[in-house]
Amino acid sequence: GNSVTQMEGPVTLSEEAFLTINCTYTATGYPSLFWYVQYPGEGLQLLLKATKADDKGSNKGFEATYRKETTSFHLEKGSVQVSDSAVYFCALSDLTGGSYIPTFGRGTSLIVHP
Amino acid sequence: DAGVIQSPRHEVTEMGQEVTLRCKPISGHNSLFWYRQTMMRGLELLIYFNNNVPIDDSGMPEDRFSAKMPNASFSTLKIQPSEPRDSAVYFCASSLVSGTKNQPQHFGDGTRLSIL
């Protein structure tokens, strides 16, 4: 079956530090990959996506590249801000039982200190 | 545009009571998902509808849980009878499935359920 593995948190950084959150996946087909962000008290929001190998998704200074050879989709940001503190979810969407059903990782909590 | 709307935002009730959670998906979306989120188990997919038809309910934990989607603009998740271990945040999400696999999901803000 399909699965997504994320690094465990929390990740604690100082403002302006470099961020990497690792994500690897297992899929039976050729999935699309996503990063979602969840702020306290809210639902998940799409942060970025990539649909094929070597695609780079980017949004709000965050980037992730679809690496098929290593089955990875690591999230990076060059300079984090306090407002980036949230939980980040890696996810894939692939054909499962005739339908496209997403598979989510456990989420990684990011805490950014001033 | 209005996003996915869930109600109520918070629900506190005593065990044994019936609980009904409601969801209005984004207009035009044809897929709807119910999730449960807890610290212990993370985000769990409970059930998935496509064009109002339940496709996969293998994530529904017990017969106490049921979900319906009577039309394209409304869905309910019901727990009867409720138990303290059902306490969690329940999310509804919708998406547009059009033969491609790269459509993201749009989540509501969730219902925080506490069973005493």
Put simply, whether B56 touches A (Cβ < 8 Å) is yes
Query: Which residues of B fall within a CB distance of 8 Å from A32?
Result: 101-102
Q: Give me the pLDDT at residue B2, please.
A: 82
**Do the Cβ atoms of A101 and B45 come within 8 Å?**
yes
Nearest CA in chain B to A91: B104
User: How far apart, in whole angstroms, are the C-alpha atoms of residue B72 and residue B54?
Assistant: 12
Burial of B77 (0-12, 13-18, 19+ CB in 10 A): buried
At B71, list the tokens. Answer: 């039309």
Put simply, whether B58 touches A (Cβ < 8 Å) is no
**Do the Cβ atoms of A99 and B104 come within 8 Å?**
no
- For the stretch A76-92, pLDDT in tens is 999 999 999 999 999 99
Q: CB–CB of A100/A3 below 8 Å?
A: no
Q: Give me the pLDDT at residue B101, please.
A: 64
**Do the Cβ atoms of A31 and B42 come within 8 Å?**
no
Residue pairs spanning A and B at CB distance below 8 A = 57
Region A34-54: what's the mean pLDDT? 95
User: How far apart, in whole angstroms, are the C-alpha atoms of residue B103 and residue B97?
Assistant: 7
Q: Residue B32: how many CB atoms within 10 A of its CB? A: 28
Q: CB–CB of A43/B91 below 8 Å?
A: yes
How far, CA to CA in Å, does B25 sit from each of A100, B46, B51, B52? Answer: 18, 16, 12, 11
CA angle B100, B2, A40 (to 5 degrees): 90
Put simply, whether B99 touches A (Cβ < 8 Å) is no
Q: Residue B12: how many CB atoms within 10 A of its CB? A: 11
Q: Give me the pLDDT at residue A61, please.
A: 97
**Do the Cβ atoms of A43 and B93 come within 8 Å?**
yes
Region A45-73: what's the mean pLDDT? 96
pLDDT of A9 > 90? The answer is no
- For the stretch B47-103, pLDDT in tens is 999 999 998 898 998 899 999 999 999 999 999 999 999 999 999 999 987 656 668
pLDDT of A97 > 70? The answer is no
